[in-house]
Homo-oligomer: A and B are copies of this chain.
Amino acid sequence: MTDVETRELRYFVAVAEELHFGRAAARLGIAQPPLSRAISRLEHRLGVRLLDRDRRGAALTDAGRVLLRESRVALDAVAAAAHRTRRAGNPDRPLVLVTKAGASHELLQRLLDAVADDPGAAPVEVLLCEVGEQARLLRDGRADVALMHRPVDDLAGFDTEDLHTEGQVAIVPTRHPLASRDQVTLAEVSDVPGLPIARWPRLDGSYPDGPGPEIHTQSQLAQLVALGRTLLVIPASSRAWQWPEHVAVPVVDAPAITTVIAWPSSISSPEVASLVRSAAALRDS
């Protein structure tokens, strides 16, 4: 009943993700045999079969699926411990604020201005990330605080403060028939011939079905839009990256998006609290 080491969890996660010992070993930078041994030792120690070894790879058992999910949060927690400790050691560490590139641009701008104007506030470093990455960065300690969006982001385990609620708009090429409309509905917009609606990831990271492209990165998205290959439904404030050849049409029945400031509920640093206060003050004004 010896204790589980993080190395073993990292190894298991690699195998569980690759479902192939050889590839997992390569990814980990070790040879395949030690990896096989480590996994079977882990199985033995837990008294549970984690993988069904099939002749063309490996498949997760139920217990394996549980361990995969749990390992990710455990590894994030360990990484967070290291990150936050490193930061606590540096006397004038900046707070790291993470947000999806391009979203809530104006709000972010005002927040940074407010912080800059406040001589007592800790400096803030802005980290821009891809769709759905904020939660990960908060969980593993690379970021202290995030701007996130309800209901599209996963807010479990975080404390949040609502900052701003807004409707969504459809981004369509100027010459498209829909461009002249005052407003549209989701139904109208979701089945436009030749202009499939972009598919954003759900809370769990999976994608809804449909003909449009799956959105993974901001740059990919920008290019798709620039090429006129997809129709986009986004919060009005994300119009910061919009091009002259597109127009935004309000989508009346799309769910409202609330921008929130989020931080790990375990954390209770005065710097974070002060930043949250500054952000909340922006909302009131």
Contacts and interface: CB of A to CB of B under 8 A. Distances in A.
Contacts of A265: 156-157
Contact of A85 (B6, B48, B84, B266): B48
Contacts of A71: 81
Given A73-B77, A78-B78, A157-B265, 8 more contacts: A5-B5, A66-B84, A67-B88, A73-B81, A74-B77, A74-B80, A77-B77, A77-B78
Nearest to A10: B3
What's the dominant secondary structure at chain A's contact region? Answer: helix
Interface string A31-54: 000000000000000111110000
Contacts of A6: 3-6, 78
A69 interface: yes
Interface residues of A, number: 39
Contacts of A120: none
A89 interface: yes
Contacts of A143: none
Interface in A79-94: 79-82, 84-86, 88-89
